[in-house]
Amino acid sequence: MSERTFSVPRGMRDFDAQEMAKRLWLNEKIVSVMERCGFQIVEPTSIENLETLEAKSGPEIKDEIYYFADKAGRNLGLRFDLTVGMTRMIVNRPDLPEPIKICALSGMWRYDEPQFARYRHFYQWDAEVYGTIEQEADAEVIALGMDILESVELRDYEVRVSNRKFAEGFLRQLGVTGEERIEQAIRTIDKYRKISADEFEDEFRKIGLSDDLLLKTSEIISLKGPADRVLASIPNEYTKSEMSSKGHKELSRLFDLLEDFGKLEKCVIDLSVVRGIGYYDGIVFEAYDKGGEDVGAIFGGGRYDKLCGLYGRREVPATGVAGGIERLMISLERASLFPELTQGPKVFATAVDEQSRPKVVKLVTELRKKGIPCDFDMKGRTLKKQLEYADSMKIPIAVILGPREIERGVVKIRTMKTHVETEVRMDELAEEVERRLQ
C-alpha cells in the first residue's frame, strides 16, 4: 500500500456520484431548452493552437490559460471558452445555410486564482447565431438564456441590456478619441456597478479623462430601468452621432422583439453594461440572479459582428449567449431548487441461499432488459447483509428469492422504507416494480 494519498491539483475537482446527479439533471434541462430553440449541439476541440486563442484575446491571454508546447514543439493551449472554437468552426463552413444556430455545453480551463465559485476547470453552456445582423437573433439568445433559468424555476433574476454602439457612440460624442482610450473607458464603465463611486472616479481619471466627462458619462451609465423609460430619458445630444443613434434604435427594436417573445417583464436597460471584452459591437447583456449577484452574471453575451473576420477569410455577423454551470448550481442550491436526486439502482435482488443465486442473476438480467436499473449481491453476503446494503444504498425496492419462492414461481417484493412485503408472480414482477416506482 502507498504511504500517501494522491490529491487533485489546485483548482481542479472530481465530480462524485451525488455531484454528477445534479449536473446530469441540470445539463439535460439546458440542452433541452437549446434544442427546442432550434440550436444544434457541437463540440469544438479542447486543445487549440495557441495562436487561435491569442487571435481573440491578444498574447496577454497566456496569463490566464493553460498553454504548453507539445513534443513536436507546437504551441498549444486548452480552450478558455466555447465561442472561439465555435466561431473558428463556422468560418470554415461556408456551405452551411445561414443563420447557423449552434450550441455547446462543455468544459474549459482557465488559470485563475481559485476562489468561491471559481475553478480552473469549469463548464459553460453557449448558444450562438451566425449569419444575420437582425435583432431577432439578439432577442432569441436573450430569450433562450431566460428560458434556461425558467426551466430550472429560477425566477428572481434580471436581464440588464445595453448596446456597445451606443456606449462607444456617446463616448466619442463626448470627445473621447483613439481606439485605446475608448477601450480603456469601456473597461472602466464595465466596473461601474462593481466598485465604489470613489474607485470609479479614480479609475476614470487615471485614463486621463476630464471631470466634466466623468460627470456626463456617469449621468448616462447610471440610467437603468424599463426600456421605454430609459430610452426616453437619454438626452438628445447623446444620440446625435450615427453610431449612438444606431445603438439607440437597436435597443428600441430589441425591446419590441423581447415583448413579442413575452420576455419584457424581467428585462431592463442598464447603460453601464458593456461587457469588458473587446470584441462586442452591438447589443450586450448580462443576467443576474438577485439572490446571488456576488457570483457575477448568471449568463451574458451580445453581438460580435467582427470576430469571424479574425478567424477566416469571410465576415459573418454573430450574436450569442453563454452561462456558467457552476454559478447556476450555486444559485439553485441557494434557492433550494434542486429536486432530490440520486443515482443508482431502483431494485436490489437478494438471494435467500446459495442455490438461489443463479436464479437471482437471471431475474436481474430480465429486469434490466426491461430498462429497470437493478442490482444484486456481489459479495456472497447473507440475506440480512444484502438487505442492509440495499438500505445503505437507498435502493427503494428489494426483491427476495429463495427455494420456496422459486418452487412456486413467485418472488417477494419489499418496499424498503415501509418494510412492507408482498408476493408477486415472477412474470408480473417488472410490472409491479414499475407500479411501485411511480
Looking at residues 352 to 391 of the shown chain, list those that interact with a copy of itself (rule: CB under 8 A): 357-358, 361-362, 365, 368, 371-380, 389
C-alpha 37/C-alpha 31 separation (Å) is 10
Minimum CB–partner distance for residue 8 and a copy of itself (Å):
5
Indicate the SS3 state at residue 297.
coil
Query: Read out DSSP for 142-208?
Result: HHHHHHHHHHTT--SEEEEEEEHHHHHHHHHHTT--SHHHHHHHHHHHHTTTTS-HHHHHHHHHHTT
Q: Indicate whether 281 belongs to the interface with a copy of itself (CB under 8 A).
A: no
Per CB under 8 A, the segment of 191-199, 204-212, 238-246, 260-268 that binds a copy of itself is 260-268
Contacting range for a copy of itself; rule: CB under 8 A; set: 40-48, 241-249, 278-286, 294-302: 40-48
Work out whether 99 is an interface residue with a copy of itself (CB under 8 A): yes
Whichever of 284 and 349 has its CB closer to a copy of itself, that residue is: 349
> In b/e form, how buried is each residue of 244-278, taking b as 16+ CB within 10 angstroms?
bebbbbbbebbbebbeebebbeebbbbbbbbbebb
Report d(CA 414, CA 398) in Å as an integer.
5
The CB-of-238 to a copy of itself minimum distance in angstroms stands at 28
Among 47, 223, 335, 416, binds a copy of itself (CB under 8 A): 47
Is residue 264 a contact point for a copy of itself (CB under 8 A)?
no
Residue that the C-alpha cell 430553440 belongs to: 37
Query: Is 235 among the residues that bind a copy of itself (CB under 8 A)?
Result: no
Q: Which of 27, 57, 111, 245 binds a copy of itself (CB under 8 A)?
A: 111
Instruction: In angstroms, give the least distance from the CB of 180 to a copy of itself.
Output: 22
Whether 420 contacts 409, CB under 8 Å: no
- Asked if 81 touches a copy of itself (CB under 8 A), the answer is no
One-letter amino acid of 56: K
Q: How far is the CB of 15 from a copy of itself (least distance, A)?
A: 4
Should residue 154 be labelled a site residue for a copy of itself when binding is judged by CB under 8 A?
Answer: no
Strands of 420-425's sheet in order across: 374-376, 347-351, 397-401, 410-415, 420-425
Q: Candidates 29, 101, 165, 327: give the one binding a copy of itself (CB under 8 A).
A: 101
52 makes contact with a copy of itself (CB under 8 A): yes
